[in-house]
Amino acid sequence: MSEFGKARELKYAPNTLQVFFCFRNGVIPKYVANLGHNTIFVRANWTVLVLHLLLMVMSISYFLIVQEVLA
């Protein structure tokens, strides 16, 4: 199960990073154009990336708070 999760992470992470860097540079990625999507697709991935980072920060800070309470 964990191996499947790792495979999915490796499969989907590069696309998100590509979209992130292309969004920063203001360039729509070629694979998005090839798939026939528009800028909304890029914005959706950008939003997902931001929410994912926010969730990671929240979970890490929550873990640290729990560690402080238990210590």
Residue with tokens 């979209």: 19
Sign (positive/negative) of CA torsion 59, 64, 65, 70? positive
pLDDT tens per residue across all 71 residues of the chain = 455 545 444 454 555 555 555 554 445 555 555 555 445 555 566 777 788 888 888 888 888 888 888 76
Whole-number Cα distances in Å, 30 to 37, 38, 44, 46: 10, 11, 16, 16
pLDDT given at position 50: 82
pLDDT given at position 31: 52
Predicted TM-score of the model (pTM): 0.35
Please state the φ and ψ torsions of residue 40, each to the nearest 5 degrees: -60, -35
pLDDT given at position 1: 46
